[in-house]
Structure formats: C-alpha cells, structure tokens
A and B are shown apart, each in its own frame.
Chain A
C-alpha cells in the first residue's frame, strides 16, 4: 500500500508491467544455438553386391546341404543378415545370421521358390555409415529344384596305363546330385577279392582316377556314388597289369637264376627290394630289369620275395614271393602245407601217413607225380581205445598188407584197406617210439615193444619168434621175404617161426644200414667207417666192400627199383650227394644237398622235408 500511495494507481500498474517484462526476459531469453550443415551425399549404388549363386535365370539344383550367401565384388559392404524363405518357410538361423543353410532333407523333392533377402552394412561415408548404421537390403528370388533321388550306378569305362602309371576312367551318371565319387580298390588273394583300406573320395566333377599306388597284378575297382542321403555301389570291373615279373630259371643242379622284368607301372615304383626268408636283410635294386644267381642245395626251401617301394611314402607292394628249391616239392593238392613229406611205397602205391604226435591218424593214397590225393583212410575208428598206449603201423614191401598197432591189438588190412583180421597180443604193445614198424611180405615183423624190447614176431600167426633182442628194431635188418633178419651183424634165418643163426657179417655189428635186396638174398651194408659192402647170404661171403675215392658215405640209401645206391659226404655247406652203382662203383650223379635225411627210390632222391630230386 505504501508503494501504491507513493506511485499512485497508474504508476503502480506500469511498474508491475515493467517488472514482469524484465522477469520474463531474465528467465526466457537465453540463447539457443541454431544452424545446420547439410551435405548432399548420394546413396551408394548397390551394384557391387552380387549373389554367389548361379545366374538369376538358372534353376538352382540342390542335392546336399547348401549355403547361400551374398558376396561383394567391390565397394565396402559387410553382410550382416541374410534371410531365406523357401515356399514361405524361413531358413533364418539367428545363431548364424549371415548364412543360410538349406537342408534338402527337410523339404519335398521337386520345384520350389527360394527368396533371399540380404542386408548389408555399407560404408559410404555418411553419418549413418560412420556409426555403423547404414544398411542396404537386396532381395532376389530363385527357382530351385531339390533332387535326392540316387543316380544310376557308375560304370567303369576303361583302364589305362600311361607314362608308367595307371588310370581308371568311368562314365559320369546322367544326374549330378551326389557329392563325391568313392574309388574303391580291391586286390586278389587266391580267388578272393580284398578291399584296400585307403579308399579315395574324389569330387563329383572328376572322371579319372590316377592310381599311383598300384604295382600290378589283379586289381578291381568300384566307383561308388556318395550322396547326401544315399550311397550307390558302382559296377565293379577288374583288370590286370602284369607286375614286375619274377621268374626262377634252373641253370644247374644247384643253381637258379632269379630274374625280373621292368614293370609297365614304372612310375609307381621307386625300387625293388629282394629278400630271403622274410628277413629284414634285403638287397635294393633299381627299377629296371635284373637278375641274381642263387646257389641252392637240394633240401633247402628258401622263400625269395621281392617288394616294390613306392615313391610316394612307405607304401610297398609285394609283387612276388615264392619258395625256391631244387627238384620238386611234394605239396599235394588239398593238403597244402599240412603234409608236405615223402610218401612211403606200399607196393606199387604211395601212401602218406598223417600222425597225431606218434599216432598214425590218417592214411592218404597219393600220386607223387600228379601231387594228387587218390584216397583217404581215416584210422580214428581204430584209435578210440588208444589211451596213452603205444601205437604204430607197418606195411609189407609188396603192398599187400597194412598193419595198425593199437596197444595189444593189431589190425590187418589188405591193399584196398579192407580189414582182414584183428589179433591181440598183449606182449606186442609197441613202445611209444615204435610208430614205424618194419614188416616183411609174409608178415614177419621187427618192432620195439614195451614189455620185451625189440622182438621178431609173426603177425599172421601172432607167434613171437624172438624177443628181448638187445638192440633197437630199426637197427635190425629184415629181408622182404621174411626169411632173414640181422641183428648186430648176426644173420638169423626164420624157419617155421623159429630163428636159427646163419652167419655173422664181418664188421657189421655196428653197421649203420643193412638193406636186403628185394629179390636176391644179399645184404647191402653201410659200415660205420663209410665203406659200403655187399654180403651174399647163400654163400655166406662178403662179395665186396669198397670205399669210393674221396667219398665217405653218409646216409646210405638203396633204391630197390633201380639197384642204385646213394649217400652224401662233406660238411655244410659243401655237402655233396652222390648216386653210385654198388657193383661197378661208378658215380652216376652228384649234387649239393643240405645234409638232411634222404631216401633213394625209383631213381629219385627224396628229402625228409618233402622235396624230390629226379635223377
């Protein structure tokens, strides 16, 4: 009121207006910055962006999980998101927003429409691009075909050897909706094909496979198709390219030449390694034709192997492996390696006895010329009560009878292995080591028994002619006609199952071999000192005893067919076998041997390991 009184009503109103204007200016009149700086930047052209698929007009062919994405040829773009719609079904993967993976298994086969929208981040220099907010979105549609139906199997077109290596060419299937070819390789062992483990996968646009690991011999290929939902086995085809051929050529009685040729697949081969008896010691030869000479005594059966080495790593090919020996190896068909041995002569027949330890288990009638088995006799039916008792067998030289000893039982068979009779002589239970018992044609036998040691017995009558002979039966001589036996050089005649002393062969008590000639009452003697003699029983006189010059006969053998004799002398490795005529003392043949046990029969020398050397 004081102010009103002082100003008066008019002045007071004016003062209030003035004060209000000043207050309003104080609080409302602050400056506000203004202005703008617009830069007319052009929108970046998107032509630098292109889809990584086929041309837009093409139909996309989908047969496996397929990734779709965009790419930029030029400019500065970054794909930040790509979304696909297949017939309206989204393919977007929030975990991988810049990639579309179409799994054809999730859709039906046939025609589809694929729409792809790709969002790019561009860097054109605008404000939005500077803060990473400038986007460009492209949208395209494609016709798409899903095909998961397997094509026809692949056929191999040809095999080619070129520039020393091997090529397999096949025919492309009509459809290409598979991812790979699987090249499968097989090698042949006998009649069986065996697949190599190193199967190769090659791209579906390849039609030729170069096999740098093939060294030759039988090979089979099969080109399979590998698809997303199928595997189609190809049509196999096989061929053979002769590998480096190794041959064994005889150059002498005891020499062989091992030769090999140059492989047509020479580019696949670095070297040739030759080894003996699978030893780690080998000889390296260049990949050219070559030969080596082998010194080979009769009786030795080394295995020579030749390997090819690959220039691509440690791969090796065994293109040759063979047993090398002098003579023939009596490996009978059907028996293989289980019974390679010299047959026994059962009259005009040859038999092989298969033992189970010392027990004769099977008898094979064989042909050593054709190496075939003509007949098999199973003896197991007679061995049921064998127990731990002694067993053995014996054959008559004329092949008319076969005797099987099982404990006290003696089974007699004819030449056709019909059981003739069985006799039981408890005293005749053979010793464990008497498995090969010597029997004469009439049935007189010498054998080692458990109870009486070496005995002479008549197997036809079961009568014991003599027992408790202080010798081993296999040291005793027995004439094929059963009329004589010799023990410690003393000759006994058997008359009516009664032995009678005849004579003593001089110096023959310790003779190593006493062989009766088949048709003459004469005895061939291999003395302990290496000399050879012939004793005539009727005249009781030593017809001859001689020592071949430089020959000290070891392992004397008499061939009852030819009348020739054989034996060897010397020390390993210079052991020489010689065949001679006991009457003329002429050396018929010599060759190197290993020093084993040999038997001369029908003009052939047989080694105990199943080798035969025809003279």
Chain B
C-alpha cells in the first residue's frame, strides 16, 4: 500500500508544480460501473457438495469507482495525460441459522494507472464534447475471508490474499463545462480488460474445527479478475491555463 500512496502523492503534489506549463488540467471524479467478474462469481458459488446450504447473497455488484487525472493540451483540440483510478466490488456466500453463521466473502480492488486521451469533436453553448480513450494497467488485489461463528463455542476464520495485473483500455465519450477555471466533466465509456491469473500470496487460518476448513473454493483453479463493463463518470477539475478557462 505504501507504494500506491507514494505514487498518488506524486500525482497530487508533483503535477501542480507542472501547472506552470500551458493548458494543464487536473481533476478527480467518480464512476459507476458494471463488472463482468464471471470467474470470481463461479469461484464464489458454493458447490453442491458443500456441507451447508449456503447461498450467494452478494455477487460482485456494480459499484462506484474513483479516479484522479492530469492532462494537458498538446494541440487545442487534443489533450493527453495520466489517470489513476480505483474500483472495488465483492461477493458473499452466506448461511445462518439459530446456531450460528457462515460467510465466505471475496473483496476485490483494482488500481488502474492509464494514459487518458481526449479529442474535442464538438462545442456548443460553452459545452465541449470529446471522444476519448484510456489505456493502461490495473493492479488487482483480492481478499477471500471465510468466517464461521457458532457462538459461544466456536469461531473460525480463514483468510487468503491474491494479486494479478490486467491490461485495460476504455473508449468513450465525454462532455465538459467550464466555470472560472473549474470545470465539470461527464463521460460514458466501456472498459475492456485482458486479465492475468491471480497469484495467491498468503493464507491465514484460525480454526478450531477441521470441518470448517472444508471450503468450497478451489484455490488451485485459474481465477481472473475482469473489470469489463460500462462506466458512467462525473468529474470536476481545474484548468491551469493563462486565463483560467479550459481551452
């Protein structure tokens, strides 16, 4: 995590000093997206032989992602820059009765680092429309946490972690409106991933029942994180140009 903090710090504190350059823009926003995650959905689903009639109650739903970016105009109608984003989603298989509860949670996070490129295609009433393409890599982190509670006699926890790296690109369109150097940007895009296999990094088991360790998950299966899906984004930024307005 420290290296991510370092990287983001570079973005936050380094880019403003570069704002002396002409036509520099910086901003941040949020996206609402869907995620394919089919492999993880299969991974989460309890097998028919599982000793509890557990059920998937949360299955990698759409979620809000966050990003920051900085770009500059290479020519008046085209800008390029860097965008760093964060997406997360998860799933849960669960069972509970009066004797206790079982949850098997998967939390997956992806930090994307990509170049962001926009070409202005149209402008009317101070609203500019762009066609864009982001391309880069996603650093995925996944945590699997199995928790069994049968109070008061038993508490068992099993945690596993894994990581992978995806290559992504996201074509889309956006529109922006400037107000005294600040601007608001709305965009629609679709993200494609070329996913790499997860690599398990560690496992922590705290169990006092051997049966509780009979997890449904097959950790040796090739599992991939796929963030593919539509993104609806809204961002705010600041244009460091000479007159404070976005060009």
> Judging by beta carbons under 8 Å apart, are B96 and A33 in contact?
no
CA distance A23 to B102 in the complex (A): 34
Tell which of A3, A21, A130 touches B51, judged by Cβ atoms closer than 8 Å: A130
A14 to B237, alpha carbons, bound, how many Å?
11
B211 touches A130 (CB 8 A): yes
The answer to whether the Cβ of A94 comes within 8 Å of any Cβ in the partner chain is: no
**B91 on interface, CB distance cutoff 8 Å:** yes
Partner of B154, one of A7, A15, A21, A133: A133
Establish whether residues A3 and B54, one from each chain, have CB atoms under 8 Å apart when the complex forms: no
Contact B107 A31 (CB under 8 A): yes
Stretch at the interface among A39-47, A192-200, A495-503: A39-47
Interface positions of A from 195 to 226, Cβ below 8 Å from B: none
A40 to chain B, nearest CB (A): 7
Given contacts A26-B66, A37-B96, A39-B97, contact A15 B28 (CB under 8 A): no
Point out the residue from B30, B105, B211, B240 that lies within 8 Å of A25, measured CB to CB. B30
Interface: B90 (CB within 8 A): yes
Alpha-carbon distance between A11 and B57 when the two chains are bound, in angstroms: 46
Interface hit among A121-129, A227-235, A262-270, A426-434: A121-129
- Interface size, B (range): 35 or more
- Across-interface contacts of A37 in B (CB, < 8 A): 54-55, 57, 94-96
Inter-chain CA distance A2–B19, complex, in Å, is 10
B218 at the interface (CB under 8 A from A): no
B236 close to A (CB within 8 Å): yes
Given contacts A33-B58, A33-B90, A131-B212, is CB(A3)–CB(B99) below 8 Å?
A: no
Instruction: Name the A residues within 8 Å of B209 (CB-CB).
Output: 131-133
Answer yes or no: B203 CB below 8 A from chain A CBs.
no
User: Given B91, B95, B182, B236, which contacts A127 in the complex, CB threshold below 8 Å?
Assistant: B95
> How many A-B contacts at CB < 8 Å in the complex?
126
Residues in A neighbouring B107, C-beta threshold 8 A: 30-33
- Looking across the interface, which residue of chain B has its beta carbon closest to that of A41? B97
Chain A residue contacts of B66, Cβ below 8 A: 22, 25-26, 29
- Closest Cβ of chain B to A357, distance in Å, is 92
Q: Does B181 contact A (CB under 8 A)?
A: yes
A289 contacts chain B at the CB level, 8 A cutoff = no
A23 to B101, Cβ gap below 8 A?
Answer: no
Cβ–Cβ contact A131 & B90, under 8 A: no
Q: Is B89 an interface residue (CB 8 A)?
A: yes
Determine the distance from Cα of A15 to Cα of B153 in the docked complex, in whole angstroms.
Answer: 53
Contact B94 A36 (CB under 8 A): yes
Contact with A along B117-153 (1 / 0, CB 8 A): 0000000000000000000000000000000101001
Whether, in the assembled complex, B222 has its beta carbon less than 8 Å from a beta carbon of chain A, the answer is no
A36 pairs with B57, CB closer than 8 A: yes
Chain B residues positioned under 8 Å from A126 (CB to CB) = 97-100
B90 lies within 8 A of A31 (CB): yes
User: Complex Cα distance A126/B54, Å?
Assistant: 11
Q: Does B64 contact A (CB under 8 A)?
A: yes
At the interface, yes or no: B163 with Cβ under 8 Å from chain A? no
Which residue of chain A has its CB nearest to the CB of B207? A131
Instruction: Kindly state the separation between the CA atoms of A43 and B98 in the bound complex, as whole angstroms.
Output: 8
Chain A residues with CB under 8 Å of B95's CB are: 37, 39, 127
Specify which chain A residues have a CB less than 8 angstroms from the CB of B8 in the assembled complex. 23, 26
Chain A residue with the shortest CB-CB distance to B35: A31
Docked pose: A40 CA to B53 CA in angstroms = 12
Is A29 within 8 A of B28, CB to CB? no
Q: By the criterion CB–CB under 8 Å, are A131 and B109 in contact?
A: no
Q: How far is the CB of A422 from chain B (nearest CB, A)?
A: 110
In chain B, positions 152-202 with a C-beta closer than 8 Å to chain A are 153-154, 156, 181-182
Q: Which residues of A contact B51 (CB under 8 A)?
A: 130
For B145, give the chain A residue with the smallest CB separation. Answer: A33
A31 touches B63 (CB 8 A): yes
A31 touches B150 (CB 8 A): no
Q: A35-B58, A37-B96, A39-B97 are in contact. Are A128 and B19 (CB under 8 A)?
A: no
Most buried by A among B16, B57, B66, B97: B97
Q: Is B226 an interface residue (CB 8 A)?
A: no
Check A127 against B12 for contact (C-beta < 8 Å): no
B57/A129 in contact, CB under 8 A: no
Which residue from chain A places its CB closest to the CB of B111 in the assembled complex?
A26
A19 at the interface (CB under 8 A from B): yes
User: Could you tell me which residues of chain B, from 29 to 75, have a CB within 8 Å of some CB in chain A?
Assistant: 30, 51-55, 57-58, 63-64, 66, 68
Q: Is the CB of A34 closer than 8 A to any CB of chain B?
A: yes
Q: Considering the chains assembled together, what is the distance between the CA atoms of A33 and B143 in angstroms? A: 11
Instruction: Determine the distance from Cα of A32 to Cα of B86 in the docked complex, in whole angstroms.
Output: 14
Task: Collect the chain B residues with CB atoms within 8 Å of residue A15's CB.
Answer: 238
Return chain B residues, CB-CB under 8 Å to A38: 96-97
In angstroms, Cα B245 to Cα A11, docked, is: 13
Whether the Cβ atoms of B96 and A127 lie closer than 8 Å is yes
Interface: B106 (CB within 8 A)? yes
The answer to whether A14 touches B28, judged by C-beta atoms less than 8 angstroms apart, is no
- Pair B58/A133 contact, Cβ less than 8 Å: no
* Interface check B92, CB cutoff 8 A: yes
**A36 surroundings in chain B (CB, below 8 A):** 57, 94, 96, 101
Give the residue name and chain of the A residue nearest to B20 (CB): A2
Does A138 reach chain B (CB closer than 8 Å)?
Answer: no
Contacts of A128 in B (CB 8 A): 99-100, 150, 153-154
The answer, yes or no, to whether B88 is at the interface (CB within 8 Å) is yes
User: Which chain B residue shows the least CB distance to A38?
Assistant: B96
Residue among A14, A15, A36, A129 with max Cβ neighbours from chain B (10 Å): A36
Asked whether, in the complex, the Cβ of B100 is within 8 Å of the Cβ of A29, the reply is no
Give every chain B residue within 8 A of A18 (Cβ-Cβ). Answer: 28, 236, 238
CB distance from B219 to the nearest CB of A (A): 18
A152-181 at interface with B (beta carbon < 8 Å): none
Pick the residue among B28, B88, B94, B211 that contacts A31 (CB under 8 A): B88
**A106 within 8 A of partner (CB):** no
Contact status B86-A29, CB under 8 Å? yes
Question: Across the interface, do B19 and A3 meet the contact criterion of CB distance under 8 Å?
Answer: yes
Instruction: Give Cα A18–Cα B184 distance, bound, in whole angstroms.
Output: 12
Binary interface profile of A, 268-311, with partner B (CB < 8 Å = 1, else 0)?
00000000000000000000000000000000000000000000
Task: Determine which of A14, A29, A32, A41 lies in contact with B182 in the assembled complex, contact meaning CB atoms within 8 Å.
Answer: A14
Contacts of B54 in A (CB 8 A): 37
Residues of A32-69 at the interface with B, using a CB-CB cut-off of 8 Å, are 32-41, 43
7 A-B pairs with the lowest CB-CB distances in the bound complex, closest first? A35-B57, A128-B99, A22-B28, A33-B92, A33-B90, A31-B88, A30-B88
Q: What are 15 contact pairs spanning A and B, CB under 8 A?
A: A15-B238, A19-B12, A30-B107, A31-B89, A33-B58, A33-B106, A37-B54, A127-B95, A127-B97, A128-B100, A130-B51, A130-B52, A130-B211, A131-B154, A131-B211
Extra A-B contacts (4), CB below 8 Å, given A26-B68, A128-B150, A131-B150: A7-B238, A31-B89, A37-B55, A39-B95
